[in-house]
Amino acid sequence: MSNAQLTGTEVHFGGPDLRKNNLRDVLLQSIDAIPKGGNIDWMCYYLNDTSILNALIEAASRGVAVSLLIDAAPRIPSVNDLSLRYLREHAASKINIIAARKKPVWEYLGLNWHPHFHSKLYYFSHPKPQVYIGSYNPTAEANELSQEIISEIGDHSISHNVLVKITNQEVVTILHKYARNMRQRSFRSGARLHPWHNRAHCAKGWKIQLLPALSTHPIQNLLTTNEEADIKCAISHLKGPGIKRLLTAALRSGKNLEVLLESTERRVPRQILSFFDKNKIPYHQPKLPVNCLMHNKYILYKSARESKVTFGSYNWSTRSRYLNHEIIVTTDKQDIVAHFDSRWNRVVSIN
């Protein structure tokens, strides 16, 4: 199944075994449902789907307040450059557009390694306030982009992704506040030091954690708790000097790991696979159609004490860990956990 409705929460998956553009259509339906006087507030890394752009312009034209925060310097800047130009040509006075780029002090010293606005958050005010969180970027299909671009970013109309629709009003309020805060230049530049940003925001059954932060890293905390647990990790990017240390610490703390990975070496280097082989950690790299990615980012955690799932925008990479703006959401709602687990088993079975 591509989605499940779970006690007010919906889990939507994309993938080559599911309907093409499944996740794009979820967002399109939500845009179309917003009436005049409503509000759409998004943050995303890539935004380059013409049908989405036109739907946002049409919503703004009928009186919806549309706010977009888009990374101005993603890995392939031309993807967002085209969208920003299109939006400004057709709706400059109607849509609040922030093309965000943070230039850290070390870039002035010649070190070209900047953080990304990698969070993926899609807020809608109607029919009641709701937020979609996950791994999906609304980008055009392969036939609409150059081969050079699509080989880098993938075809997300068919790639493995997830969007979780959250309607719990306490959680929605927290996430919408994050989106509003991020519109402020001063907050964006100082988020790492901001007390609100460093806090774990909790509601019954939910925890929201934000990066960058000075607090202990949430994924490190999850993997190195002092208890035995079975952990399934769907990871699109797994690289960086600290990854082996983190995984070793997880094994030593009694974790049984199983991993679902992207197959491109840029995202998962060969040395990481050698580490898995050496430590007898089972891993899966699905055989996918051309330009299709395993772009999911979630962790299923099960111990004698609890069962939960962590999902969001976070890549297991040095840039995501220390620099990027990211969202990490954890829930112990068992119907949601079960749906992620079912999808894991489905993807692994067709590997």
Highest mean pLDDT range out of 105-114, 301-310, 317-326? 301-310
Q: What is the mean pLDDT of the chain?
A: 93
As beta bridge partners, residue 9 has 6
Q: What is the mean predicted confidence (pLDDT) over 190-213?
A: 95
pLDDT value of position 104 = 67
**Start-to-end CA span in the chain (Å):** 17
Alpha-carbon distance of 6 to 165, in angstroms, equals 10
pLDDT value of position 113 = 76
The answer, as to whether pTM is greater than 0.85, is yes
Ordered domains of the chain (ranges, CATH):
3-190 (3.30.870.10), 191-349 (3.30.870.10)
Nearest to 42 by CA among 178, 150, 179, 222: 179
pLDDT bracket for residue 55 (50, 70, 90): very high
Q: How many CA atoms lie within 13 A of 32 on its CB side?
A: 8
pLDDT value of position 1 = 42
pLDDT value of position 32 = 97
Q: Tell me: pLDDT of 7 over 80.
A: no
pLDDT digits (tens, 9 = 90+) for 244-298: 999 999 999 999 999 999 999 999 999 999 999 999 999 999 999 999 999 999 9
CA distances 129 to 62, 87, 168, Å, are 19, 25, 9
pLDDT value of position 52 = 97
